[in-house]
Amino acid sequence: MAAEIYLNVAVSGLLTGLVYGLMAVGLSVIFGVVRVVNFAHGEMMTIAMYLAIVLFNGFGLDPLIMVVPLAAVLFALGYAMQAGIINPFITRPEHSQFILLVAMALIIANVLLIVFGPDARSVQTPYSFDSFLVGPLIIDATKAYAGAATVVITAALFGFFRFAPLGKAIRACADNYTGALVVGLNVKRLYALTFGLGAACVGAAGSMLVLLVDVTPALGPALTLLAFIIVITGGLGSMPGAVLGGVLIGLTEAMAGLFFTPSAKSMFSFALLVLVLLFRPQGILGKRPS
Amino acid sequence: MIARMLDGVPGRGLAVLAGLLAVLLAAPWVANDYVLTVLIIVLYSAYTGQAWNVMMGFAGQLSLGHAIYVGLGGYAAAALYVHFGVAPWLGLVAAVAIAAACGAVIGFLAFRFGVGGVYFAILTIAFAEFARIGFDHFRWVGASSGFFLPVANYTRNDLWNLRGDPTMFYYVMLALTVAAFAICHVLLKSRIGYYWQAIREDEVAARSLGIDTFRYKMYAIVLSAGMTAVAGVFFAFYYNNLFPEQVFHISRSIEMILGPIIGGIGTLFGPLVGALLLTGLSEAMQELLTALRLDVPGAKQVFYGLCLLVVVMALPGGVWPWVAGKLGLTGPRS
């Protein structure tokens, strides 16, 4: 009996972790190519979550169906942010970029506060309480759908970077900025595309996460931190690493919530992060920095 | 000592400095309670900014988790005072020791294993968040429901126990800020300051010149942590309450470093100018929005964010180097 509880919690943590992982993939893609740490990542995620809620409450559009349209909306937002504001900062020192993105995070969070108010919002879908019975396991239907969607999206993104010419061009910018310029790539446009793709991951993850957690305008920093932990645990710049990190963090938090108190669960994620940073700074699947 | 401190400062700069100090010393006689409270916040931000600047501005190590030192310092002194009746000035010693030790641990782990740049910054956030959640479950100091210092009506200012009216706190904070300013000025002109700047500019080159970069980075983090802890003690005794969600929160760390970056990172006046500008901006915005009846929650922060955006886009080096250049206040080194 007891073993089943652990197994159920583990599966639930794993599926939630996959959605976290997709959010982290966005951060990882952005940092891996543009070399800017997106401190507004969580705030962009809350934008996606609020859009999903508005679409659901106003038009009855299921957040799982809105994954692709919301990814497109966030792609446009990300592209505009990079092309309009961040591009001049790519050669500036880290602290300068940091202030820029913190300022954007501040603006996003407080515009959301003005528009939606401080109360927590959530959505209730017809399948909110459905579950699948797989042997002794009870799997929450929402989490199963979200987890499956995450796997599909990450695989598609991975394929894009590996095989599509545009994906290869983006990887060329990441590998060698000057080299990419020399062979005639429009690096600034590719950077904007990359930021857009990272934001699209956030859009997709946000519209799924809204099914799993309540959203408030102040949720941003917690999500940003979560994305940092995942990405660094898995390896900054590594997409499989980000997914693996998400799953690990999801599992760790679920288990910590079971064994200790749920309010202390993030402490274990931070402990995991500190251990990884100290003993394998490049992350579990990251490449050793040259 | 004094001669060395004044060495290389242009006459106009000295005059401005003396004028500023005179204004600040006289402020409590003319300012009302509101202005005094704002000035305390300005000085507090200037002090913490100066402390953070030692690490980032001088030695080039980006810490985004400085709230941990404020929190540890504040909690240490407050716990000693509440549980054992230890006066804050004695508690300060313990507070600084604890925060400096914590800084040493973070620095040792990070610098030994070659964790730098963005990774170091996120490691510092991780430690601060770890402390926040840890203190949320630390019963001895009230856990998440907060830790309170006894508040009573004080008929006279008790400087030894830091119980008294805002004017006393104002002068304490002014003294701390002036002291931090002087210490940083001396440090910048000493061997250690030059070593730090060498590390900041190019760590590999610094090491190849024979500088023990690990040791000097350790000095920077320990000193910065200790200085920040002093601000924590002030925070605890001025506000009389400590909540882990407040003191350790990442937004405290961010507020702390906005001032020096906006003011001008690595400069002595940067933290002061930044604190003055940002606090002034924040208060002015509040007044303006109230006057325009636009005072909805969040409106102030949106404008604040927009101003930050404009400043950081227009003046990459910060406000002070630009102003100093215009006024001809820069000496051989600003």
Question: pLDDT (tens digit, 9 = 90+) per residue, A59-94?
Answer: 888 888 888 999 999 999 999 999 989 988 888 888
The chain-wide mean pLDDT, for chain B, equals: 86
Total tally of structural domains belonging to chain B: 1
Looking at residue B233, its pLDDT comes to 94
Query: Region A252-280: what's the mean pLDDT?
Result: 82
Total tally of structural domains belonging to chain A: 1
Q: Which residue of B has its CA nearest to A261?
A: B137
* B188, B194, B197, B198, B202 from B206: Cα distances, Å: 16, 10, 9, 6, 6
**Which residues in B lie closer than 8 A to residue A88 (C-beta atoms)?**
313
When mean pLDDT is compared across B82-91, B293-302, B324-333, the lowest value belongs to B324-333
Q: Which residue blocks in A117-216 are alpha helix, DSSP H? A: 141-163, 165-175, 177-182, 187-209
When mean pLDDT is compared across A33-47, B124-138, B289-303, the lowest value belongs to B289-303
CA distance B30 to chain A (A): 35
When mean pLDDT is compared across A6-15, A265-274, B237-246, the lowest value belongs to A265-274
With 60 as the cut, is the pLDDT of residue B60 above it? yes
The shortest CB-CB distance from B136 to any of A92, A263, A281 is to A263
Q: Which residue of B has its CA nearest to A260?
A: B137
Token look-up 């604190």 returns B275
The number of CA neighbours under 13 Å toward the Cβ of B76 is 27
When mean pLDDT is compared across A129-138, B72-81, B286-295, the lowest value belongs to A129-138
When mean pLDDT is compared across A134-148, A151-165, B216-230, the lowest value belongs to A134-148
Looking at residue B47, its pLDDT comes to 95
Contact A63, A207 (CB under 8 A): yes
- Cβ of A95 within 8 Å of Cβ of B56? The answer is yes
The reply to whether A156 touches chain B by the CB within 8 Å rule is: no
Residues 186-205 of A with CB under 8 A from B: none
Query: Region B286-293: what's the mean pLDDT?
Result: 85
With 90 as the cut, is the pLDDT of residue B166 above it? no
CA distance A193 to chain B (A): 22
Report the percent of chain A where pLDDT is more than 90: 39
Domain span at B96: 2-327
The reply to whether A278 touches chain B by the CB within 8 Å rule is: yes
The shortest CB-CB distance from A232 to any of B56, B119, B129 is to B119
Looking at residue B3, its pLDDT comes to 57
Contact A234, A246 (CB under 8 A): yes
C-alpha torsion A24→A49→A271→A1, nearest 10:
-110
Residue B333 lies in a domain: no
Name which of B108, B252, B302 to mutate to probe chain A: the one with the most chain A Cβ atoms within 10 A of its Cβ: B302
- Cβ of B298 within 8 Å of Cβ of A110? The answer is yes
Query: Region A140-145: what's the mean pLDDT?
Result: 86
Residue B278 lies in a domain: yes
Contact B57, B184 (CB under 8 A): no
- Cβ of A261 within 8 Å of Cβ of B257? The answer is no
The shortest CB-CB distance from A103 to any of B56, B114, B308 is to B308
Question: pLDDT (tens digit, 9 = 90+) per residue, B173-192?
Answer: 999 999 999 999 999 889 99
Looking at residue B332, its pLDDT comes to 44
The shortest CB-CB distance from B126 to any of A100, A105, A273 is to A273
**Which residues in B lie closer than 8 A to residue A263 (C-beta atoms)?**
133, 136-137, 144
CB contacts < 8 Å between A and B, how many?
A: 126
CA distance B143 to chain A (A): 12
Looking at residue A62, its pLDDT comes to 86
The amino acid present at B294, given as its one-letter code, is L
Closest CA to B96 of B247, B232, B226: B226
Question: pLDDT (tens digit, 9 = 90+) per residue, A188-233?
Answer: 899 999 999 999 999 999 999 998 889 999 898 889 989 988 988 8
The shortest CB-CB distance from A270 to any of B130, B265, B301 is to B130
Give the residue, B144 or B68, on which the prediction is more confident. B68
Residues 6+ apart with CB under 8 A from A73: A48, A51, A203
**Which residues in B lie closer than 8 A to residue A236 (C-beta atoms)?**
118-119
Task: Name the 3-class secondary structure at A123.
Answer: coil
Instruction: Give the pairing of strands B241-242 and B147-148.
Output: antiparallel
Residue B238 lies in a domain: yes
Q: Which residue of A has its CA nearest to B123?
A: A274
Name which of B124, B249, B286, B301 to mutate to probe chain A: the one with the most chain A Cβ atoms within 10 A of its Cβ: B301
Element containing residue A122 per DSSP (H, E): none
Give the residue, B155 or B309, on which the prediction is more confident. B309
Q: Which residue of B has its CA nearest to A232?
A: B119
The shortest CB-CB distance from B250 to any of A104, A221, A273 is to A221
**Which residues in B lie closer than 8 A to residue A217 (C-beta atoms)?**
298
For chain A, give the longest Cα–Cα distance: 63
CA distance A146 to chain B (A): 28
Determine the distance from the C-alpha atom of residue A11 to the mean position of all C-alpha atoms in its chain, rounded to a whole number: 20
The reply to whether A274 touches chain B by the CB within 8 Å rule is: yes
Residue A105 lies in a domain: yes
Looking at residue B333, its pLDDT comes to 46
Name which of B108, B251, B254, B300 to mutate to probe chain A: the one with the most chain A Cβ atoms within 10 A of its Cβ: B254
Residues 6+ apart with CB under 8 A from B113: A277, A278, A279, A281
**Which residues in A lie closer than 8 A to residue B62 (C-beta atoms)?**
94-95, 98
Looking at residue B196, its pLDDT comes to 92
The reply to whether A228 touches chain B by the CB within 8 Å rule is: yes
Question: pLDDT (tens digit, 9 = 90+) per residue, A104-127?
Answer: 999 999 999 999 988 888 888 877
Residue A287 lies in a domain: no
- Cβ of A114 within 8 Å of Cβ of B309? The answer is no
CATH code, A42? 1.10.3470
With 90 as the cut, is the pLDDT of residue B103 above it? yes
* A63, A212, A217, A263, B211 from A55: Cα distances, Å: 8, 17, 17, 31, 60
Residue A235 lies in a domain: yes
The beta strand positions in chain A, using DSSP E, are 131-134, 137-140
Instruction: Report residue A264's pLDDT band, with 50, 70 and 90 as the boundaries.
Output: confident
Q: Which residue of A has its CA nearest to B113?
A: A278
Residue A128 lies in a domain: yes
Domain span at A137: 2-279
- Cβ of B122 within 8 Å of Cβ of A106? The answer is no
Query: Region B129-155: what's the mean pLDDT?
Result: 83
Instruction: Report residue A290's pLDDT band, with 50, 70 and 90 as the boundaries.
Output: very low
Looking at residue B107, its pLDDT comes to 92
Task: Name the 3-class secondary structure at B125.
Answer: helix
Looking at residue B142, its pLDDT comes to 82
Count CB-CB contacts under 10 A for residue B106: 25
Looking at residue A73, its pLDDT comes to 94
With 80 as the cut, is the pLDDT of residue B27 above it? yes
Looking at residue B5, its pLDDT comes to 60
- Cβ of A37 within 8 Å of Cβ of B313? The answer is no
Report the percent of chain B where pLDDT is more than 70: 94
Looking at residue B301, its pLDDT comes to 84
With 90 as the cut, is the pLDDT of residue B13 above it? no
